[in-house]
Structure 1
Amino acid sequence: MNTVTFEEITIDDIQEVREIYNYYVMNSTISFHTEELNMDQMRESVLNKNPKFKSCLIKEYQEMVGYVLLAPYKNKQAYDVSAEVTIYLKPDYLGQGIGSKAIAFIEGTAREQGFHTLIATICMENARSIKLFEKNGYEQCALFKEVGYKFGRRLDIGSFQKIL
């Protein structure tokens, strides 16, 4: 029996999704936001009007443990074959293989939607996320030095890409 399942995010899920995201806003460099998102901002962030892009809860034994997004990479037509992948898990669920299951799920969804390339944008301090994506076949394709500033530190981001 598969204990990890995925369900499309609805408006009723936004508060719980927001709590997960805002934890990382306030406690890490995983998110480059420096202030918590309100409900409207979170709704805009995760609910895409284009049905090609997906926002899904990650559940383990029917408990919501995180979420995964397949979002536009850039807002220009030639990029329509590419999407950005984002995964956030509650801290207690890190390191249990759930992230890899979320990647496999969202890659299947991306293939169904006709995407060719997936990109994850990761703060280079986030070794756990880098390891997760590399383990699942993503390769670093770009490095942007000192593009962020949070908690008194200048931060680099990397782009990690997988051709489907």
Structure 2
Amino acid sequence: MALRIRDATSHDAPACAAIYAHYVRTTALSFESEPPSDDEMARRIAAYGSSHAWLVAVDDDDVRGYAYGSPFSPREAYAWTAEVSVYLAPDAAGRGLGRALYEELFDRLRARGIRRLQAGISLPNDASLGLHRALGFEEVGTFRRVGWKHGRWWDVRRLQRDVLMDDDGGAPG
């Protein structure tokens, strides 16, 4: 596998949309009810790629997964915190690709001054919890029965990780 990780472009939108559509249609890992169109995915790539980062993992030009950072909240005080997500093609799971995408994403976000990362994981999802814990995320709470999808309620575990903190905990640079 000649795997490389690079910035996503609008040309990657159909592949990212196809990967994500699987999760939207068949799981509760995303609480969206309809998969976004290729155009909507291109809009997200442009928006999050310019404000935070959006990366794809490609194997011989075939997108096998993607990871991105997005604003945690629109309020100014949260500008130093990002929400992170990673999605892999179903047949690409379990090969270290999620970790590789996340590690590169974290470096990009740190370089942009992001200090804390947030992640939300619908439960159960042992694979995602394991990945996040292995990468230093700490669990900060569980929202009970907050998402309704596929005829049932789902819990969401919240996790966070610091990627850049001042020694004195002072104001960001």
TM-score, structure 2 as length reference:
0.87
Residue 158 of structure 1 pairs with residue 157 of structure 2: yes
Identical aligned residues as a percent: 27
Q: CA deviation at 1:42?
A: 2.1
- What do residues 106-137 of structure 1 show as CA deviations (whole Å, max 9, x unaligned)? 11111111111011111122221111101111
Give the number of aligned pairs: 163
In the alignment, the residues of structure 1 paired with residue 49 and residue 37 of structure 2 have an alpha-carbon distance, to the nearest angstrom, of 22
Per-residue deviation, 1:41: 2.8
Cα contact 1:4–1:98 (8 A) shared by 2:
no
* Structure 2 unaligned blocks of 5 or more: 164-173
2: CA distance, partners of 1:62 / 1:39:
18
1: distance between equivalents of 2:128 and 2:152? 19
Moved more, 59-68 or 154-163: 59-68
Aligned pairs for 1:85-124 within 5 A: 85-124=84-123
2:137 is equivalent to residue 148 of structure 1 = no
CA–CA distance in 2 between the matches of 1:112 and 1:159? 24
Structure 1 stretches of 5 or more lacking a match?
none
Q: 1:142–1:17: structure 2 CA closer, same or farther, 3 Å change rule?
A: same
Residue 36 of structure 1: how far off its partner (Å): 2.1
CA deviations on 1:31-75 (whole Å, 9 max, x unpaired) are 111222223332333321673411111123543101110111111
**In 2: Cα distance, 1:145 partner to 1:133 partner:** 20
Amino acid at match of 1:68: A
- What letter corresponds to residue 19 of structure 1 in structure 2? A
Deviates most, 120-129 or 43-52: 43-52
Q: What is the CA-CA distance between 1:85 and the residue it aligns to? A: 0.8
Residue 92 and residue 142 in structure 1: after superposition, are their counterparts in 2 closer, same or farther (change >3 A)?
same
Residues 50 and 58 (structure 1), Cα distance of their counterparts in 2 relative to 1, 3 Å cut:
closer
CA distance in 2, matches of 1:59, 1:160: 27
Q: Secondary structure at the match of 2:50?
A: coil
Moved more, 6-15 or 73-82: 6-15
- Partner amino acid for 1:122? I
